[in-house]
Amino acid sequence: MGGHPDRYAAHGAEGRRAMVRAVLAGGGLRDPAWRAAFEEVPRHLFVPCYFVGPAGREERLWCEDPDAGRRARWLRGAYADEPLATRIKDGTLVSSSSRPSLMGRMLEALDVRDGHTVLEIGAGTGYNAALLAHRLGDAAVTTVELDPEITESARRHLAAAGRRPAVVTGDGARGCPERGPYDRIIATCALPSVPGTWLGQCRPGARILAPLADGLVALDVRETAHGPRAEGRFLDTPAYFVPLRGALPLPAQLQHLGGLPGRIVENDLFRFLLTLTVGVLDPREALSLWQREGHPRRERYGITVEQGRQWAWLDDPAGPYAWSTPGDVSRGGA
């Protein structure tokens, strides 16, 4: 769309209204401010092309396709309540636009207030940063992305939508201290652990919302005699994101679970516990805990982060079920 008038503006507005109705019907976007953002920020400007279909046989849909029918499919897909694969490199998904209903859930859980500043980890297409900028103003939003090609693409999309938050190329695991401190930090990429460096960039009373172990954890930050401490529970919803670049992949024990019943291995809540305890509990120990505690849902688990130390827990951070999370990615990321 490269600086030209948006020829899809009218149909895009219709698509946004339909998308918001669908999300509302599913119980989302109860906050009028976020509802207005989703109604007014044109998602199609952030996904000028994307891929559909099974891995290895993806079909590319884009806004400049010479076939009118395929262009119509592209525009419909841009406003479906579905995640969109926007960048694939060497057969691996490296960037996407998340499902709008999940984005709305995350933004509402972030609990922003007028005057807050926000750091977003993972610029992606720029769409989430645009929604934040609509709510808080461009100057209040900083978004960080490791890949300079993705950074530049997000910047172009934002400009086409009339938004200019700070778009920074850098390692999100290290945050962006030069633009801090922040009232809120939101990550839109999957993390193996919460980087400790983020705590030093937070104001007291800040909130961190991040995908971890295929869930979403909301941490509230407070000052203690020993420095900042972030603690909170997981939301009840599953969440699957492109991993933070530079983070280590999950160990092989999650790929090979032979010996456990298939119905157990495929259970979403059990796999969440496996991912959360990877490298600490073996699968059978995790299964024993899961069964003993009555198949706990995500919201019974939480995370505590202090400088140099963090742990996950079930029910109580000082209770009997607590375990270390993987190493601090801010110390060895890309």
Enzyme catalytic residues: 95
Q: State whether residue 220 is helix, strand or coil.
A: strand
Q: Closest Cα partner for 334 from 198, 196, 171, 174?
A: 171
| Beta-strand runs (E) in 149-201 | 166-169, 182-187
How many CB atoms sit inside 10 A of residue 285's CB? 11
CA dihedral 203, 209, 210, 215 (to 10 degrees): 150
Checking 27-34 for CB contacts under 8 A at 24+ apart, the result is 28/101, 28/104, 28/105, 28/108, 29/101, 29/104, 29/108, 30/108, 31/108, 33/135, 34/104, 34/107, 34/108, 34/131, 34/135
